[in-house]
Amino acid sequence: MTRFSEALVRANTELDPSIREHLERYQGPFADILKENERIAREKRLPLCQDTGLVECFCTLGQSVALEEPLQRTLEAAVANTYGAFPFRDSTVAEPLFRRTPLKDNVPPVVHLFQTEGKMLEIRFLVKGGGSENLSRYYALEPSAGVEEVENKVIELVGDNGAMSCPPLHIGIGIGGFSEKAMLNAKLALTYPLGTRHKHPDYAQLEERLLRKLNTLTIGFQGLGVGPTALSVHTVYEPTHIATLPLAIAVDCYLNRKGVVRFED
């Protein structure tokens, strides 16, 4: 899993070039500090943000791939070794409610496994900080709700809380399925490349409309009112029950630390 570890280091220390372009154009408050932070992190392999998050993996496993051990175990070892070798903060606690004792190795990663045909293993991952994760929302809409209500939920969420999650933001939207599938798809949407659009024209238009509307909120870089409020909106939809309309919204900070690693057996 050396390639996965290397990708994890890059995600924590190097800003995606397409996002760096937006940062370079930013001329508002603290612009020089933000740009200097990005440069130092990239050159010295230091974390872009002190919250080096939890690692969430979306793994597509071909049926012909032979693994030497359970994938969860392999990814746990890779995350523990990577976070131990670099000055990345350990963010996990062993038990979430009563004692919250730190684990000190940033494991376990959150691992989702999807099976498919073929000989390929693809691992998409997010490095998700607490500030953006706290903005995750699920809505059980009436099945008669239309696209306008979906848009309003996204605009309302970002308008009320977006400044607290290190904007400009990346928005992942999961529609359909049941509640857990909608949220999973919302997170998966955050792994898509900046500037890409859904292949279904209706959802592509929804993404474009939402991006335009979000950028009228003037929350701006770091909530300081200058520059874009959102950099990307991506959707993933799923068939659903006739009596439901699940809507999940996942938010990521402007760093959008992510990666994709593929292995062929």
Flag whether the pTM goes above 0.75. Answer: yes
pLDDT in tens, 28-77: 999 999 999 999 999 999 999 999 999 999 999 999 999 999 999 999 99
Q: Where does the chain have alpha helices with state H?
A: 2-13, 17-25, 31-44, 71-85, 130-133, 147-161, 179-189, 201-214
Q: How far apart are CA 163 and CA 160, in angstroms?
A: 8
Please report, rounded to a whole number, the percentage of residues in the chain having pLDDT higher than 70: 100
Task: Kindly state the greatest CA–CA separation across the chain.
Answer: 53
Q: What is the mean pLDDT of residues 96-125?
A: 96
> Dihedral (C-alpha) 10, 13, 18, 19: value to the nearest 10 degrees?
140
**Alpha carbon 162 to chain centroid distance?**
15
pLDDT in tens, 64-92: 999 999 999 999 999 999 999 999 999 99
Q: How far apart are CA 214 and CA 158, in angstroms?
A: 8
pLDDT in tens, 198-208: 999 999 999 99
Position 155 pLDDT exceeds 80: yes
Q: How far apart are CA 7 and CA 19, in angstroms?
A: 17
Question: CB of 249 within 8 A of CB of 171?
Answer: yes
Residues 6+ away with beta carbon under 8 Å from 154: 171, 173, 210, 214, 233, 249
Q: How far apart are CA 118 and CA 139, in angstroms?
A: 36
What per-residue confidence (pLDDT) applies to 182? 98
Q: How far apart are CA 215 and CA 231, in angstroms?
A: 9
What per-residue confidence (pLDDT) applies to 1? 76
pLDDT in tens, 130-140: 999 999 999 99
Q: How far apart are CA 165 and CA 93, in angstroms?
A: 21
| 228 CB burial (10 A radius; 0-12, 13-18, 19+) | buried
